[in-house]
Chain A
């Protein structure tokens, strides 16, 4: 019988836990400004998440997938990367995208059913969100492999959930990355559920990070609600990859506070008390408490208001954008439209 993951926490990377226990040596090297930056990033992406959720409820965008509770995993990773790095996000990673220069307007456009939202800004490499679970994992292996071949100094990061580790894509991606020494980070946000299926029913493996062993790869488990720990682990894995020392699997042990998506009702498969237990480990509150202890003064309300104002401004811009042109469907399928497409476009649009 596999051991329960909770019982086996000796080797988890933790810098600041929910009880205030902290790795002072590591923290002392992080400046006050950096800590404020971490905090603000999490406040911003939580405010966005809340707003996007509300907009779905009001019918202003379509299905939305919330990452509430996973802010430390997303911000900690995003902030440890460089623009030239390549990320392969999932539907749950809007927070990562937001912190990777994807304009909020575009993130809303995507969830609002408008293809134009997927385009990555030129200054960063944000691959379009993967909707099929796990299919992006080999891409991250391939992009990291390319970085190794081209000596580009980039790192590729594949994001995925605990459920995705059951797919063949996971096995194939990790195996390739290891065999070819790819500059890849496999970043699993283990949020304990794949829709209704709890992590324990997904795999009998003791943990997800342990799966790395079989690939001859380093596997690290991190407290995913501890932004410092996530940042530290990702930064170290990225440095290692940039030096040509291969891939890493990082498991961020966290929790999805929200429903799986705006079409899901999580009360069908998990208890309120379980959610409440995890709310106590809130990643933002934890940093707030720490800043207080360290004597870093912040104006909480002002930071939140600033985040909200930024988001509101983008929402205004989003709502002013003209409807997508039906011609757009045809425009980017091939470098050149086929004769059949050309005829169909004319028939369809009555031109």
Chain B
């Protein structure tokens, strides 16, 4: 066991997968000599000569060439420095990476991982705070993973790298260094598509992912067992673990979903639709979503007004419990 934060866990997974599989290469802006602006790729440039590339500043180029590498025998791990710069290469992701297997009838595949930090709450610059998971979940052929702690980050990233299809790996910037955990030094995998029941409970199902998960945990601690809450860390947004969600809501009959992304067409909407389809008759009241409003992520002085807060999550829980 070693103590690691999320950045270190990501770094460990990258290192181990590069040692394990010589086809794995890393590319992106500042990922080589500088070790990444968050140091996620620290040390790789030295340890794996000829397999870690500082690219020109061009996200579309990074993803487009990664697609070419992936179809021709490599396993590229591309870093997009901030998820706010995923819109440029979206054409490559949506129109190509996600469709290659289908369009070539399985003749070509695209085992590509795009790692990118996302999320608000750290007083960052414009376009450095958004949560776009729903956009990628709305892209057929793409997997979308969001770890919420170092242990999961390492195991999920290893799975993403070994996955035969393209995976977006969303790293919660706000808690990059906020959580330290004992994690195994040896390699291990956490399956993509499996949620984690962080805490079992009977009154209410609380669903979150990424940095919001920590906030929910902290809140439950603060509420000191006022309700028996089942806390679910979704971990994979696409394909999400519908079974775990439905079973939990059937048991508790109440549900609150938290995400940093804006409300309309946020991923909570899909979860609520699934609950509506499969667990409607178990519900004691409407499902509540605690999200950001439908406006562009503001500059940092207003970000705490914009993002879900512990107070707003608590209000959401009370609303459902008191319905």
**Closest chain A residue to B56 by CB distance?**
A166
Across-interface contacts of B60 in A (CB, < 8 A): 167-168
**Closest chain B residue to A117 by CB distance?**
B299
Q: Report B268-323 residues with CB < 8 Å from chain A CB.
A: 293-296, 298-303, 305-306
Docked-complex contact B302 and A324, CB < 8 angstroms? yes
1/0 per position for A318-351, CB-CB distance to B under 8 A? 0000011010111001000010110011001000
In the complex, which of the residues A264, A328, A341 contacts B294, with contact meaning CB atoms closer than 8 Å? A341
**Closest chain A residue to B126 by CB distance?**
A131
Tell me which of A75-83, A191-199, A282-290 binds B.
A191-199
Across-interface contacts of B301 in A (CB, < 8 A): 112-114, 323-324
Docked-complex contact B263 and A340, CB < 8 angstroms? yes
A196-B30 contact in complex given A330-B293, A333-B296, C-beta closer than 8 Å? yes
Docked-complex contact B84 and A132, CB < 8 angstroms? yes
A344-B293 contact in complex given A132-B88, A269-B33, C-beta closer than 8 Å? yes
Q: Report B29-50 residues with CB < 8 Å from chain A CB.
A: 29-30, 33-35, 37
CA gap between A17 and B111 in the complex, in Å: 53
1/0 per position for B18-34, CB-CB distance to A under 8 A? 00000000000110011
Q: Does B125 sit within 8 A of A, measured CB to CB? A: yes
Across-interface contacts of B126 in A (CB, < 8 A): 131
Q: Does B72 sit within 8 A of A, measured CB to CB? A: no
Across-interface contacts of B128 in A (CB, < 8 A): 131
In the complex, which of the residues B88, B124, B300, B306 contacts A329, with contact meaning CB atoms closer than 8 Å? B306
Across-interface contacts of B305 in A (CB, < 8 A): 326, 329, 348
Q: Does A244 sit within 8 A of B, measured CB to CB? A: no
Q: Does B90 sit within 8 A of A, measured CB to CB? A: no
In the complex, which of the residues A63, A202, A341 contacts B295, with contact meaning CB atoms closer than 8 Å? A341
Docked-complex contact B302 and A329, CB < 8 angstroms? yes
1/0 per position for A161-172, CB-CB distance to B under 8 A? 001101110000
Q: Does A203 sit within 8 A of B, measured CB to CB? A: yes
Docked-complex contact A195 and B34, CB < 8 angstroms? yes
Across-interface contacts of A195 in B (CB, < 8 A): 29-30, 34, 37
Across-interface contacts of A348 in B (CB, < 8 A): 293, 305
CA gap between A278 and B214 in the complex, in Å: 47
Q: Does A293 sit within 8 A of B, measured CB to CB? A: no
**Closest chain A residue to B312 by CB distance?**
A348
**Size bracket, chain B contacts:** 35 or more
Q: Does A306 sit within 8 A of B, measured CB to CB? A: no
Q: Does B123 sit within 8 A of A, measured CB to CB? A: yes
Q: Does A268 sit within 8 A of B, measured CB to CB? A: yes
Across-interface contacts of A163 in B (CB, < 8 A): 56-57
CB distance from B319 to the nearest CB of A (A): 11
Across-interface contacts of A341 in B (CB, < 8 A): 293-295
**Closest chain B residue to A112 by CB distance?**
B301
Docked-complex contact A113 and B299, CB < 8 angstroms? yes
CA gap between A196 and B58 in the complex, in Å: 14
**Closest chain B residue to A113 by CB distance?**
B300
**Closest chain A residue to B300 by CB distance?**
A113
Docked-complex contact A167 and B294, CB < 8 angstroms? no
Counting chain A CB atoms within 10 Å of each CB, which of B29, B33, B126 scores highest? B126
A201-B54 contact in complex given A91-B125, A196-B34, A268-B34, C-beta closer than 8 Å? yes
CB distance from B99 to the nearest CB of A (A): 20
In the complex, which of the residues A166, A323, A326, A328 contacts B58, with contact meaning CB atoms closer than 8 Å? A166
In the complex, which of the residues A62, A110, A115, A132 contacts B302, with contact meaning CB atoms closer than 8 Å? A115
CA gap between A329 and B129 in the complex, in Å: 15
CA gap between A326 and B54 in the complex, in Å: 40
**Closest chain B residue to A266 by CB distance?**
B34
CB distance from A206 to the nearest CB of B (A): 16
CA gap between A348 and B54 in the complex, in Å: 43
Q: Does A105 sit within 8 A of B, measured CB to CB? A: no
**Closest chain B residue to A91 by CB distance?**
B125
Docked-complex contact A115 and B298, CB < 8 angstroms? yes
Q: Does B188 sit within 8 A of A, measured CB to CB? A: no
Docked-complex contact B54 and A197, CB < 8 angstroms? yes
Docked-complex contact A166 and B34, CB < 8 angstroms? no
Docked-complex contact B57 and A344, CB < 8 angstroms? no
Docked-complex contact B293 and A168, CB < 8 angstroms? no
Across-interface contacts of A269 in B (CB, < 8 A): 33-34
CA gap between A63 and B30 in the complex, in Å: 19
CA gap between A169 and B247 in the complex, in Å: 48
A329-B298 contact in complex given A166-B56, A340-B263, C-beta closer than 8 Å? yes
CB distance from A341 to the nearest CB of B (A): 5
Q: Does B108 sit within 8 A of A, measured CB to CB? A: no
Counting from the closest, the 4 A-B pairs by CB-CB distance are A113-B300, A166-B56, A196-B34, A163-B57
A-B contact pairs, 27 of them (CB 8 A): A62-B125, A62-B300, A113-B303, A115-B299, A115-B302, A131-B84, A135-B88, A167-B60, A195-B30, A195-B37, A196-B33, A196-B34, A197-B54, A202-B56, A263-B37, A264-B37, A269-B33, A324-B301, A324-B302, A326-B302, A326-B306, A329-B296, A333-B296, A338-B294, A340-B294, A341-B295, A344-B294
- On B, residues with C-beta under 8 Å from A are 29-30, 33-35, 37, 54, 56-61, 84-85, 88, 123-128, 263-264, 293-296, 298-303, 305-306
A195-B29, A338-B294 are known contacts; what are 5 more A-B pairs with Cβ within 8 Å? Answer: A62-B300, A115-B299, A131-B128, A196-B34, A333-B294
